Structure 1
Amino acid sequence: MSLADNLKTAVANQASPKDAPSAKAEFDGETWDVQTAPVPGAVITDFSDILREMGIDPHGFEVSGKPRISRWQFSYRDMDGEMVTEWRTAYRLNLAPVQDRINLPALYAEVARDSEKRQSPRVHGPSTVVVCWGDVQTGKVDHLGGVKELLERLEEKRETLREYLKRTPHDHIVVADVGDIIEGFDNVASQIRTNGLSLMDQVDVAAVEFWKTIKLCAEFAPVDVLSIPSNHCAWRRGGKQIAGLPSDDWGIHINKRLEALNAEVGLDVNFHRPASDYIEMLEFDIKGTKLGLAHGHQARNPKSVCDWWGKMSHAGELSCDILLTGHFHFPTFKPSGRNAATGRTKWHVQCSTLDNGSAWVRNAFGEDGDPALTVFTINESGFDVSGFALL
């Protein structure tokens, strides 16, 4: 073996120190955990070539979170026997499936067209239609799909609502945000990996989709919009710890934002929120019938909602004829007590979810209702049982 051959062998051995990380990729059925081999040169941000070499489709997976980067100087002798020092870099990547991208400018263009006030033909009658916008959980990915499937579902529900309003006698509409209008990131650790939208995009998309529903209802009758705090929309710090007041809530924020938008557009719409920053529920009078609105997360399970309602009434809150809640992802309505002054039955309505399904609710309670838009009517005699429908 010549001296040159010996030098080549020495250089090759020096280029791969024993403590350098080796390339490795592990797949858990949904995400990749990737450790790259040392890469010479400057820090890179495009990992497409590395992923291809490892057999991973860079168009099907994207980096989730921030890459962990290790850099060190490495010295060795080149072919001429001169000492060379260069930087080596290794990367640790978490890869998640690429999610559908939302064209937010296109969504905002929908809002920009709202200066045109439209009216649709309706059947007049002395009733209020209550539209329950419940548990949309914008940005959530579950067994029924992701962002694309959610937007398609909401558009379909709006068209069904339009047909319902055309045939249902009414002179007033209440649109109730029953809570969890966004998914958020602080309820469970997996949200950072499974959500299809950032927090900012969740709020943007949720606001636009809610506005489109409000605008549709305003074509038919005067509208009152109700919003209350909820667990997915709460401002949290360090996991599940509440960081502020009950009113520090993304659903409340969206209500205020749309109220400001409507001040410029001028639709016949009024916006309502709890009377105090410290209260998680509200009451709204409809033709002499009090509608109470709460998300429902205050109760431990679906069967205990009415027990919680009784405690709130004892505390001077939710002294209402109808309590509307969500949270548990399946619809019910049932009688619960009686109004001593009017003699009428009091009702609890638990509205449907509009989200992409809830594996959590299914695993915890054995229930997972189909997505639907819950509607019901209130007339001079109170809750009209015949007007309850799932659209």
Structure 2
Amino acid sequence: MTLADALSTPPATDDAPRIEADANGGTFSGIKSTKPITDWSNIFAEFDLDPDVFEVVEDTVRMSKWQQSKRLENGDRDIIWLYSYRGSFRRRSDRLDLPALHAAARQRKPRPFKPADSDRVTVVVLSDVQAGKVGSRGGTPELIERMADTRHALTAHLRVRKPSRLVLAEAGDLFEGFESGGNPMFTNDLSLTEQMDLASTELYEFVQLMQRHGPVEVMAVPSNHTAWRNGKQNLGRPGDDLGLGVHRQVAKLAAASRLNARWNFPRAYDESMALDVGGAVLGLVHGNQFSPGRAAEWWSKQQHGGQPVGAADVLITGHYHHLSVMPTGRNPHTGRAKWWLQAPTLDNGSDWYRNVQGDDSSPGLLVFDVTSDGFDLQSLTVL
């Protein structure tokens, strides 16, 4: 076959124009024109897709062209070129459809979990979600998928644990913010209001899931990423934290929805809090109050000064993004050891820290039980 024959032979494909799409993008084929296509807006519009939301992935586009004879009005014949296109398209990274992403995440299959004992208070530590952050583990779509997978795992865990009560300890940095300091290398993919909207949605999803397995006590503390700031300067009281503001709005929605959940906040000028769950007193603080590895020293001073976490048997912290479990001190009344639990993160990665320190942490949800004998070390797991 000569080159002229090849050019005059239509490609052996399905001639019907077709687009296959989901919330994140899709493929197209059989898109024909008499001129080369450089603007895809009209093509998206013809298939009821918003050209402001989707974009063509340029390096996937393949074009076929061939000649076709056309009779003119005077009876003569003319040769015209025809073009056919196929390729892929995707949702624009700057236009995320949060409801569609949540709907897709809910369709993800749950992961199995091993059975364990019942008659216990199960504590779930939600730490450093940093909604809106972009890192090496992705952006908002990946975070929503990760959170959905984590809730599936938590559902399986609670079904076999059968707790009598539950605690959701939110250890801070619920969303990323823009004035938290540090040395971020990447940009956020959500505005501040969108970050707060996503954070409230995820928080509500966790409370709604957990209260199906028993009454829920929610603990919330202020943190550096969600602080009310002007640049690096904190404004107002610790209780004016924007993350706590998200909690208060979710608490109103939970009450209106008659969820079996109750919120516990620090006092307006406090950054930490404690909650007695029967077998142990839980203390919660974000962790930006002390240097790395200095939690036990900070905690001992809080005990000496009669601060909220001074009476705690278990101190839960976030901020440092990695799992750490350490016994430190002893309760003089029960004789049982006190424990410091540093929670892992659920964020998209702290790459600036990895590039500086050469260290990274895997995402996860810290879960443990409290029984009448206190903190159950054997129950501790990361989902």
Counterparts of 1:180 and 1:171 in 2: how far apart (Å)? 28
Show the counterpart of 1:138: 131
Question: Contact 1:328 / 1:361 at 8 angstroms: preserved in 2?
Answer: no
Kept after mapping to 2: 8 A contact 1:185/1:192: no
Residue 78 of structure 2 aligns with which residue? none
For the structure 1 residues 361 and 340, does the alpha-carbon distance in structure 2 shift closer, same or farther, using more than 3 Å as the test?
farther
Specify whether residues 207 and 364 from structure 1 end up closer, same or farther in structure 2 by C-alpha distance, changes over 3 A only.
same
Contact kept, 8 Å, 1:128 with 1:377, in 2: the verdict is yes
1:176–1:364 Cα change, 3 Å? farther
Q: Which runs of 5+ in 1 are unaligned?
A: 1-47, 49-57, 62-96, 111-121
Match of 1:295 among 265, 275, 286: 286
Paired residues for 1:172-183 under 5 Å: 172-183=165-176
1:99 paired with 2:93, answer yes
Per-residue CA shift, 1:263-308, capped at 9, x if unaligned?
Answer: 211111101110x21000100001141100000111121x111111
Measure, in 1, the Cα distance between the counterparts of 2:182 and 2:328.
37
One of 152, 157, 180 as aligned partner of 1:159? 152
Which residue, 253, 256, 277 being the options, matches 1:261? 253
Q: Out of 114, 118, 122, which is 1:129 matched to?
A: 122
* Aligned-pair CA distance for 1:366: 4.2
The equivalent of 1:84 in structure 2 is none
Amino acid at match of 2:206: T
Correspondent of 2:233 among 230, 238, 241: 241
Q: Where does residue 209 of structure 1 map in the other structure?
A: 202
Which of 154, 163, 177 matches 1:184?
A: 177
Give the letter for the 1:216 counterpart: L
Instruction: Give the distance between the partners of 2:201 and 2:56, measured in 1 at CA.
Output: 28
Q: Which residue of 2 aligns with 1:389?
A: 381
Q: Is the 8 A contact 1:229 1:247 kept in 2?
A: yes
Matched position secondary structure for 1:219: helix
Describe the SS at the equivalent of 1:175. strand
Shift in Å, 1:221: 0.8
Report if the CA contact (8 A) 1:184-1:191 is conserved. no
TM, length-normalised to structure 2: 0.70
CA contact (8 A) 2:118 2:160 kept: no
Q: Is the 8 A contact 1:331 1:349 kept in 2?
A: yes
Q: Which residue does 1:69 correspond to in 2? A: none
Matched, 1:348 2:340: yes
Contact 1:299/1:305, CA 8 A, preserved across alignment: yes
Q: Distance in 2 between matches of 1:363 and 1:323?
A: 29
Q: CA deviation at 1:191?
A: 6.2
CA distance 1:348–1:358, change in 2 (3 Å)? same
The answer as to whether partners of 1:123 and 1:170 remain within 8 angstroms in 2 is no
Moved more, 305-314 or 348-357: 305-314
Indicate the SS of the match to 1:354: coil
Residue 314 of structure 1: which of 301, 304, 307 is its match?
A: 304
Question: What count of residue pairs does the alignment treat as equivalent?
Answer: 286
Match of 1:362 among 354, 358, 362: 354
How far apart, CA to CA, are the structure 1 residues paired with 2:122 and 2:271? Answer: 23
1:165-202 per-position Cα deviation (integer Å, ceiling 9, x unaligned): 11114111101111000000002487696001000000
Q: Residues 264 and 124 from structure 1, CA distance in 2 versus in 1: closer, same or farther, beyond 3 angstroms? A: farther
Structure 2 unaligned spans of 5+: 1-40, 42-53, 58-90, 105-114
Q: State the Cα distance separating 1:362 from its structure 2 match.
A: 2.4
Contact 1:336 1:348 in 2 (8 A): yes
* CA deviations over 1:9-52 (Å, ceiling 9, x no partner): xxxxxxxxxxxxxxxxxxxxxxxxxxxxxxxxxxxxxxx9xxxx
- Matching residue within 327, 332, 336 for 2:324: 332
SS in 1 for 2:294: helix
Alignment RMSD (CA, Å)? 2.6
| C-alpha displacement of 1:361 | 3.2
Deviation of residue 102 (structure 1)? Answer: 3.1
Query: Matched residues in 2 for 1:294 and 1:165: separation?
Result: 25
Is 2:204–2:254's contact at 8 Å kept on the other side of the alignment?
A: no
TM-score by length of 1: 0.68
Give the distance between the partners of 1:147 and 1:171, measured in 2 at CA. 34
Counterpart residue identity of residue 120, structure 2? S
- Structure 1 CA distance for aligned equivalents of residues 265 and 248 of structure 2: 9
**For residues 143-179 of structure 1, what are the alpha-carbon distances to aligned partners after superposition, in whole Å with 9 as ceiling and x for unaligned?**
1111111001000000011111111141111011110
Relative to 1, partners in 2 of residues 1:137 and 1:257: Cα closer, same or farther, differing over 3 Å? same
| C-alpha deviation, 1:101, in angstroms | 3.0
Specify the SS of the correspondent of 2:190. coil
- CA–CA distance in structure 2, aligned partners of residues 340 and 191 of structure 1: 44
Write the distance in 2 (CA, Å) between the matches of 1:351 and 1:341: 27
Shift of 1:360: 3.3
Aligned-partner residue type, residue 97 of structure 2:
N
